[in-house]
Structure 1
């Protein structure tokens, strides 16, 4: 039996999905860690990026500082946390490490999106008497929305793919399927775990693309039908 056939056999075996250590349980843990990290990263990065993009000052420095995090391996950050008092805080070290990993694309894309809004449009809105808040909500944010969603999709996929590191420090997630396969020299299980992570990342990407199309403020609206 080939590796791919073995991986398919593992994925289609019901017993591998059931129980506390089954794939469903690991999937729920993976989604919990990824969702918590992405939500926290959005709460940190987006307000800062949107505000700095709106006022047009300090954004370049913030982007450069956040991009420093891209040069530091996530596992190295996690290893530092594991020798600190946070090592016994459950998923906290993993979530914090993933937040540091997710902030740069969120902050960079949101800031760039705000600054790339056509200045002529902004000045025209000001000339119409819009206040700063109205300008932000009705002009800048809608026009920056595509770049903001690009950053969100990029961060989400990266977080889902990288959340497997939780298994390296004994936490849950789909990474536990992979590490268990390594520990038992079960290559088909390793491949099956990797396929689950890849499929989850693709599914998250697809969902966010759908959300983007449905919620985009730039989406063409159907004209109202006239009634006689």
Structure 2
């Protein structure tokens, strides 16, 4: 009971710092996700316009390479190029976001029933109209699923960005480890978990409401 009281006293004194770190964390996640979505979804759409072949395998192979590099190693690799801080962190997290977003976009569009696409073409739809009005709406649940999964991963990986001075909730965890402050470690960890769950919940609600509108 005493520990709980002490922890609430700690939160009362440090909540502005917690909120500031959470804001930094969310900003890094948002920027990495926005750039990742713009790149991966666009490339995924383009790849579906061509028959599966060497180009597809090459693109997926290149994107897959980034997933094999440990997060700390990738962050360290960018320090000589971009220095320390937010920029190398966003670039590294952006690269990590590409594979699941690309895979879900590509698979989602490819899974659309070909007879539906052919019917749209028969009605006079151009390739772009078919993509925009038929294929993307039908593939949207797959794409959104990739966004949800990626967002949760990026929130977790962003805690490591504090190692190169990017800030965020990882700062609290590292400071807690350095000062043997369990309250800081616990707060930083729980805040990251809550942030990931909150993002997933919001995207889940959005997905359900959209499905209801479609019905």
The TM-score with structure 2 as length reference comes to 0.91
- Offset of 1:70 from its aligned partner? 1.2
Runs of 4+ in 1 over 4 A off after TM superposition: none
How many angstroms does 1:85 deviate by? 3.6
Larger deviation, residues 206-215 vs 172-181 = 206-215
Equivalent residues in 2 for 1:85-104 (5 A)? 85-88=81-84, 90-104=85-99
Offset of residue 139 of structure 1: 1.1
Higher helix fraction (1 or 2)? 2
Distance 1:10 1:79 in 2: 36
Which string of whole-angstrom CA distances, capped at 9 and with x for unpartnered residues, describes residues 54-93 of structure 1?
A: 33444343223212211111211100111x14115x3110
Match of 2:114 among 113, 116, 119: 119
Preserved CA contact (<8 Å) 1:213 1:219:
no
Query: Do the aligned partners of residues 108 and 2 (structure 1) sit closer, same or farther apart at CA in structure 2, a change above 3 Å counting?
Result: farther
Question: What CA distance in whole angstroms lies between the structure 2 residues aligned with 1:128 and 1:2?
Answer: 72
Match of residue 77 from structure 1: 74
Q: Does 1:211 align with 2:209?
A: no
Asked whether the 8 Å contact 2:117–2:135 carries over to 1, the reply is yes
| Structure 2, unaligned runs of 5 or more | none
- The answer for unaligned runs of 5 or more in structure 1 is 221-228
Q: CA deviation at 1:2?
A: 8.9
Matches of 2:94 and 2:8, distance apart in 1: 32
Deviation at 1:101, TM superposition (A): 0.6
Deviations 1:195-224 (A, max 9, x none): 11001000000011112223459721xxxx
What SS is found at the alignment partner of 2:214?
A: coil
Q: Answer whether contact 1:56 1:115 (CA < 8 A) is retained.
A: no
1:129 to 124, 127, 137: 124
Cα deviation, 1:9-38, whole Å, max 9, x if unaligned, reads 1586211112xxx10110110011111111
Q: How far off is 1:98 after superposition?
A: 0.2
Tell me whether 1:164 sits opposite 2:159 in the alignment: yes
Aligned to 1:143: 138
- 2:177 aligned residue: 182
Per-residue CA deviations over 1:102-146 (Å, capped at 9, x if unaligned) read 111000110011111111111121122211111101111111111
Equivalenced residue count is 213
Indicate conservation of the 8 Å contact 1:143/1:218, yes or no.
no
